Structure 1
Amino acid sequence: MIISSSEYKRENLCSIVVEYIKEAILAGVYKEGDHILETEVAQALGISRAPVREGIKELENEGIVTVVPRKGTYVTQFAIEDIKEVFDIRLLLENNILEILIKENKLTEEDFNTLENIIGEMVNIVNGTEDVVKKAIHINRKDMEFHRFIWQKSGSHRRVEILESIFFQLRMAMLYDTNKTGNLLVTATDHYEIIKHLRSKDLEKCKKALKEHIISYKEGKF
């Protein structure tokens, strides 16, 4: 089946809507429970309401927004149980990935340098002049860049596929974790401990460092 240019354009606009709303949520423009108005999104992007509706359907399927009949669309409110479940899935899969990296000797010195550079960029963000909310968002992005690099290096395509499918929920969970309990500098420098144990090939200490990197686990909130 050949997709017409008009259908392709509509699909492309739908993707723009999805990314726009996701970034607005991460930036705090939309908070948990906030009402998202189709007309406002359409005006902000300079498009019709049709692709906005399609984008909202996609976000609803991902569990990011909740559509209430005859009331409208709202940003889904994540309970602590939801956050824990996302982190549990992440730990299960990422621990497997750490095992692959160590047992199969997947990381080179160049890879370790790349990871350390990402941490350095995170520290620079912490020491920058932006407000705390913007710093948290940028740290969150760099944090995910660090871990996605590790995921990809494992060569475990199915595990990576599952982690990528919950990528936004992971970003939301990490932002929640940092905003509620975290010290941004600690969040950034915790990654050195993960690298240290990856270098020494100490799997158990590496797993422990990953778990303690998630503040809510470290502080016993789960």
Structure 2
Amino acid sequence: MTEAMSEYQRDNLCSVVSDYIKEQIIIGKYKAGDHVLEAMIAKNLGISRSPVREGIKDLEKEGIVEIVPRKGTYVTTFSLKDVHEVFDIRILHENDIFRILIHEHKLKEADFKYLTNLVDQMVTVVNSDLKEEEKIIKVNKMDMDFHLYLWNKSDSKRRIKILKDMFFQLKMAMMYDTNETGDLMQTATDHYEIIEHLRSGDLEQCKKAFLNHIDSYKKGEFENPD
């Protein structure tokens, strides 16, 4: 029993470490290429360095950090090629999710109201007096909430797993995309068009609206995927 409890506690602390580092990345405390110090994280969380080390290994598997032998751990720097790859995978599977949602009539009026309200909240944030960095963080979170809702409504378990497994990489790619090329108000209001085409059942227009929603594609930085 003691050994099992110890194993549970260790796993739980690893998750705490992983969540803490992710939060620091999202709020901008850790930026691409920053050195992640085990000792500092252990001190901030009031735990030993062992679960910190294990939590960092989990993040390395997710592609969130890179462990460089004899140098330490660094927040992954996304190149344009990396962002392209992440978005290509997302577009492939999310287009299939749009097809399922439309062809199988998965969305009801209550769903459209929920999604529209979420976009309204994004617009409110963009028009607020918050600092630009805070706006980007909040809008991108609600953006992911919007798409996560659609993923779950599709009930496509394998596609959802693939997308959720790379969920945080998607967040990081979206932060890059918005910081480098994005018009934050456009990022928010693009979702109204996606809702419109989901409601009308126009799959091709929905896919086009989604592709246009990703600023790097819209601005021609990437070639459109087949």
TM-score tier (shorter): over 0.9
TM-score (norm 2): 0.96
Q: How far apart are 1:25 and its partner, in Å?
A: 1.1
Number of corresponding residues: 222
> What is the identity percentage for the equivalent residue pairs of Structure 1 and Structure 2?
60
Number of the residue aligned with 1:202: 202
- What is the Cα deviation at residue 81 of structure 1? 0.6
Distance 1:138 1:3, change over 3 A: farther
Greater mean deviation of Cα atoms: 122-131 or 110-119:
122-131
Residue 64 of structure 1: aligned partner? 64
Offset, 1:105: 0.9
Counting only pairs closer than 5 Å after superposition, residues 39-118 of structure 1 correspond to structure 2 as: 39-118=39-118
Report the CA distance between 1:206 and its aligned residue.
0.3
TM-fit CA distance, 1:129: 2.0
Matches within 5 A, 1:159-174: 159-174=159-174
Deviations 1:53-76 (A, max 9, x none): 000111111111111111111111
Give the CA deviation at 1:184.
Answer: 1.1
SS of residue matched to 1:4: helix
Q: Determine helix, strand or coil for the equivalent of 1:74.
A: strand
Is 2:36 aligned against 1:24? no
Aligned CA distance change for structure 1 residues 3 and 107 (closer, same or farther; 3 Å): farther
Aligned equivalents of 1:39 and 1:20: distance in 2?
A: 14
Letter aligned with residue 116 of structure 1: T
Change (3 A) 1:34 1:110: same
Q: TM-score, normalised by structure 1?
A: 0.97
- Provide structure 2 residue ranges, at least 5 long, that are not aligned to the other structure: none
SS at match of 2:28: coil
3-state SS of the aligned residue for 2:99? helix
**d(CA) in 1 for partners of 2:154, 2:62:** 26
Q: Which residue of 1 aligns with 2:8?
A: 8
Residues 82-112 of structure 1 show CA distances to partners (whole Å, capped at 9, x for unaligned) of 1000000000000001011111111000000
The residue number in structure 2 matching 1:132 is: 132
Q: 1:121 is matched with which residue?
A: 121
Deviations 1:107-133 (A, max 9, x none): 000000010011011111112222111
Over 3 Å counting, the alpha-carbon distance change for 1:103 and 1:3 in structure 2 is: farther
Query: 1:47 is aligned with what amino acid?
Result: I
Give the letter for the 2:33 counterpart. G
Unaligned runs of 5+ in 1: none
Q: Which stretch shifts more, 88-97 or 27-36?
A: 27-36
Cα root mean square deviation, aligned: 1.2
Q: Deviation per CA, 1:106-165: give whole Å up to 9, x if none.
A: 100000001001101111111222211111011111000000111111111110010000
Question: Structure 1 pair 154/2, CA: closer, same or farther in 2 (3 Å)?
Answer: farther
